[in-house]
Amino acid sequence: MAFGTGIIRSMLTTLRHAFWQRVTVQYPEQKRDSWFYEAGMKPRFRGAPMLVMNPETGAARCVGCGVCVRACPHGVIRLDTSVNQQGQRVVNSYEVEICRCLFCGMCEEACPFGAVVCSHEFELASYQRYSLFWDHRFWEPGAIKPATPIIALPTGKP
């Protein structure tokens, strides 16, 4: 093969690409609209861990057993419980330090009640560092500190 044919071949390759469809996703407008698959998150996507709402009471389903705390490799979750007058265990606070979270899903796997799931939330950037410390106690309107969100089960989660 004569010297230069390879160069010409590569030039033609890039020229061909100049007339192809662009593949980059325009992020804030378009979210994960992959050109290969249908749009949207995969059902198993692991985002930020969040508490699951009990549909009857509207409160968190968490009973404060602390399995997730022990399952977490990085000690991201902190749980504070107490016993009320009826002798029931009450969750005082369920704090997630989301800036150190590995999104490994160990808490979700460990939870025997399905009370904590890895949601599909992934836009977690923030200007204030304190807003990365999610605290269940502050889950009320107008709270300064963001709460560990209590969500209905995301669709598609097994």
Residues that bind other proteins (CB under 8 A): 1, 3-7, 9-15, 17-18, 20-24, 26, 34, 36-37, 41-46, 70-75, 78, 97, 102-106, 109-110, 118, 129-130, 133, 144-145
Q: How far apart are alpha carbons 158 and 156 in whole angstroms?
A: 6
Q: Which of 79, 72, 64 is nearest to 112 (CA)?
A: 64
Number of residues assigned to the chain: 158
**Closest to other proteins by CB, 54 or 66:** 66
**Closest to other proteins by CB, 24 or 85:** 24
- CB 57 within 8 Å of CB 115: no
**Closest to other proteins by CB, 23 or 87:** 23
Closest approach of other proteins to the CB of residue 11, in Å: 5
Closest approach of other proteins to the CB of residue 123, in Å: 16
Three-class secondary structure of residue 17 per DSSP: helix
**Closest to other proteins by CB, 125 or 144:** 144
Closest approach of other proteins to the CB of residue 86, in Å: 29
Closest approach of other proteins to the CB of residue 19, in Å: 9
DSSP 108-157: HHH-TT--EEE-S------SSSGGGEEEGGG-STT-SSPP--EEPPPTT-
